[in-house]
Each structure stands twice: as C-alpha cells, then as structure tokens.
Amino acid sequence: MTQSLPLGTHTETLHGFQIHRARLDPGAQQRLLEQVRDVVAAAPLFTPETRGGKAMSVRMTSAGKYGWFSDRSGYRYLPQHPSGSPWPEIPAVALDLWRDLVDARRLPDCCLINFYDRPARMGLHQDADEADFSWPVLSVSLGDSALFRVGGVNRRDPTASTWLESGDVVLFGGAARRAYHGIDRIRFGTSALLRNHGRINLTLRVVD
C-alpha cells in the first residue's frame, strides 16, 4: 500500500508512468548512494554489449538474486556477477521504496544499477526479460538531471519527455509495463550528489 509522500513532493503521470517527484530527500539520497557504493565495491561496474557486439554507453551492475546482463548471446538475467561472485543484497533504501509504493509481501529479485557518465544515454527499449509482467518496475534517479522519454507498447508510438531530477522515483506497471522508454541525455553538473557528476539509476524488478 502506498504511504503518504514526504512533505513537498507530488506525483505526475506521463503516458502511464507515475513520477513521484522528490520522493527521496537529500539525506535519503545520500544514504542510498552510500549503499550503492557498497554494492559496486562487491560487484564492480562493467560495460555490457548489445547483441550486435556494440559496447553500451552506460556501465552497470546489479544487486539481489539476479543481475541483468547482455552480450552477443542476448539479454538475460544471471545469478552471479560476470566475475563469478554472487550479487550483493539490494540497498535497504531502495527496498523501503518498493515496500511503500508496490508491495511489502513480494520483494524484487533484481536491482539493476546503471551509471551514466559522458556521453552515456539509453535508447528506447522495453523491460521485457522478466517472467511476470503483472509486477511493475520501480526506478530511482540519483545525481544529474536526465531527459526521460516514454512512448507506447509499439516502437513507433508517439513519445513524450520530462526531466528527472535526483530523488525522483518512477513507477510503471499495467499498460505501461511494456512501454518503450529511454534516456536521451544527461544535464551534467545539475546535482552535487556525485563528486564528479553523472547519474545513477536503480531499477527494481520481479524476475521470476
């Protein structure tokens, strides 16, 4: 059950995507960042490849039971980091968001962590590698502003865009669960959360 939002926040809807503005206050953002750093220390960031063999512009890692991975063999979830070590636990601040906004009885299997540095972006794509699409995806933004573009379930559907700021949380389920979405660009230097700027995005999903 969704709890009351912190003072000063509000919720918008864009093509079925619920955007909880400033859901995380600066203190919560800092705590989550520290927990992300612990994840990266245990499961270092790596650069995945597309099916065509092209290196993605983002670096990533994961936490939880599974981690998302991509190479020439395709997109899939793995039970361990590419190094062979197990994935760390999902950050507690992210799990609290899931409990508040989704469901406390069924926790996510995966927290995918993407790091956007110059000139990283994320083309329009669907989150379609999970077994059960009845569960939503919860996305958390930390660091510099990102231009978020969303469309429909077909790639050629009309799109709309909005800027996501540090502390914003996006939830998409129902008809929007398989909608195309992506990050067109990062406005570097808009947040002081990360020492050398950039953006971190966490997405929590039920995989099984």
Is the peptide bond prior to 48 cis by the omega test (within 30 degrees of 0)?
Answer: no
Residue 96 — φ and ψ, nearest 5°?
A: -65, -40
Which domains are seen in the chain, by residue range?
A: 12-205 (2.60.120.590)
Q: Is 142 helix (H, G, I), strand (E, B) or coil?
A: strand
Instruction: Please give the pLDDT value at position 164.
Output: 98
Task: Provide the whole-model pTM.
Answer: 0.93
Q: What is the mean pLDDT of the chain?
A: 94
> Beta-carbon neighbour count of residue 39 at 10 Å?
23
Q: What percent of the chain has pLDDT over 90?
A: 93
What is the percentage of the chain residues whose pLDDT exceeds 70? 96
**What is the identity of the amino acid at 81?**
H
Instruction: Using the structure block, give the residue that is written with the tokens 């670096």.
Output: 59
The 10s digit of each residue's pLDDT in 71-107 is 999 999 999 999 999 999 999 999 999 999 999 999 9
Q: Per-residue pLDDT tens for 140-181? A: 999 999 999 999 999 999 999 999 999 999 999 999 999 999
The DSSP result for 37-101, as a single string, is HHHHHHS--B--B-TTSPBPSSEEEEEES-EEEEETTEEEEESB-TTSPBPPPPPHHHHHHHHHH
